[in-house]
């Protein structure tokens, strides 16, 4: 069983399970007891067997190679419009927590809620409304080897040659998340997310929920956290979608840059 004294002091309540199908679903089932599960309660495991990511994708990893962490948020603004910033607040917090342990690497946020290291995904985030609360689930690749990575655009602490301090990572993340939640809807959070967002200024292809594709340049974050994309004909605010970064790759045989898709 993991020992997490720093995270335990930071969380209102922390429960570590040796194995769990889905930490978000497990925490949702327990959250009805508000007295037992207050704001900033945390449930986690290093062996999640039936996790769910964005767009209802399944998310599972080999045992003890990743952390699945779910945080219960109750102290939220009365204006639910500000809740749209929660995934970005979590993304900022996790970006900073990862960067603190991976100095010398480019760590940033891919809109809306993936943390990338050197262009590869190390963490995904999923926020779900649970009654009057929100549960934020994160999956962080920790000891996963290169051979165990699910796709070439993924990475992990181990694949980068680093040994993660899971206790410090979680404590830093929870501290940053709490600060971000207090800043929901403010210019300060907008500035922090903008500074860390690797998507801005990039050519992107966005698969929209209705099945259409938007291609253009990500130019800024709107006031409500939406991604603003310029497709050459106008500006489009994207509330949800699967974003792929398109990055230039140097082709020495052609002495020019071509385009390829990235994480």
Q: At 38, which CATH number?
A: 3.30.930.10
* Beta strands at 114-117 and 256-261: parallel, antiparallel or unpaired: unpaired
Which whole number is the average pLDDT over 72-88? 93
Q: Do 190 and 214 belong to one domain?
A: no
Q: Do 173 and 248 belong to one domain?
A: no
The answer to whether residue 262 scores a pLDDT higher than 60 is no
Question: Which structure tokens are listed for 152?
Answer: 């070439």
**For the chain, how many structural domains are there in total?**
2
Q: Do 112 and 229 belong to one domain?
A: no
Q: Do 173 and 217 belong to one domain?
A: no
pLDDT-derived band of residue 56, with 50, 70 and 90 as boundaries? low
Q: Do 128 and 249 belong to one domain?
A: no
Query: What is the per-residue pLDDT across 86-141, written as a single tens digit (0 to 9) for each?
Result: 999 999 999 999 999 999 999 999 998 899 999 999 999 999 999 899 999 999 99
Residue 255 confidence (pLDDT): 33
Q: Do 68 and 110 belong to one domain?
A: yes
- In terms of pLDDT, which residue wins out, 249 or 199? 199
Q: Do 148 and 239 belong to one domain?
A: no
Q: Are 110 and 118 in contact (CB under 8 A)?
A: no
Which whole number is the average pLDDT over 202-228? 91
Give the residue carrying structure tokens 């037992």.
36
Contact residues for 115 (Cβ-Cβ < 8 A; gap 6+): 91, 94, 95, 98, 107, 108, 109, 121, 122, 123, 124, 125
The answer to whether residue 185 scores a pLDDT higher than 90 is no
| Domain span holding position 149 | 5-196
- Average pLDDT over all residues of the chain: 89
Report the DSSP beta bridge partners of residue 118.
none
Q: Do 184 and 244 belong to one domain?
A: no
The answer to whether residue 246 scores a pLDDT higher than 80 is no
CATH label of the domain that carries residue 220: 2.30.30
pLDDT-derived band of residue 208, with 50, 70 and 90 as boundaries? confident
Q: Do 118 and 135 belong to one domain?
A: yes
Percent of the chain with pLDDT over 70: 89
The answer to whether residue 54 scores a pLDDT higher than 80 is no
The answer to whether residue 1 scores a pLDDT higher than 90 is no
């Amino acid at each position: 069983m993991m020992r997490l004294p720093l995270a335990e002091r930071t969380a209102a309540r922390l429960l570590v399970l040796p194995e769990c199908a889905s930490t978000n679903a497990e925490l949702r089932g327990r959250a009805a007891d508000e007295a037992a599960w207050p704001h900033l309660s945390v449930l986690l495991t290093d062996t999640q067997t039936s996790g769910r990511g964005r767009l209802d994708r399944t998310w599972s990893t080999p045992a003890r190679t990743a952390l699945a962490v779910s945080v219960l948020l109750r102290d939220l603004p009365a204006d639910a419009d500000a809740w749209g910033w929660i995934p970005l607040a979590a993304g900022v917090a996790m970006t900073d927590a990862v960067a603190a342990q991976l100095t010398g690497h480019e760590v940033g946020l891919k809109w809306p809620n993936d943390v990338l290291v050197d262009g590869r995904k190390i963490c995904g985030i999923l926020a779900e409304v649970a009654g009057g609360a929100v549960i934020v689930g994160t999956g962080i690749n920790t000891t996963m080897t290169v051979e165990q990575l699910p796709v070439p655009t993924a990475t992990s602490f181990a694949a980068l040659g680093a040994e993660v301090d899971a206790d410090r990572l979680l404590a830093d993340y929870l501290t940053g998340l709490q600060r971000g939640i207090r800043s929901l809807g403010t210019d300060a959070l907008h500035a922090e997310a903008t500074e860390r967002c690797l998507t801005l200024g990039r050519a992107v292809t966005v698969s929209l929920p209705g099945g259409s594709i938007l291609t253009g340049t990500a130019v800024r974050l709107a006031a409500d956290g939406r991604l603003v994309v310029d497709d050459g004909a106008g500006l489009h605010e994207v509330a949800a979608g699967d974003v792929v970064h398109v990055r230039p790759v140097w082709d020495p045989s052609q002495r020019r840059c071509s385009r390829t898709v990235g994480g």
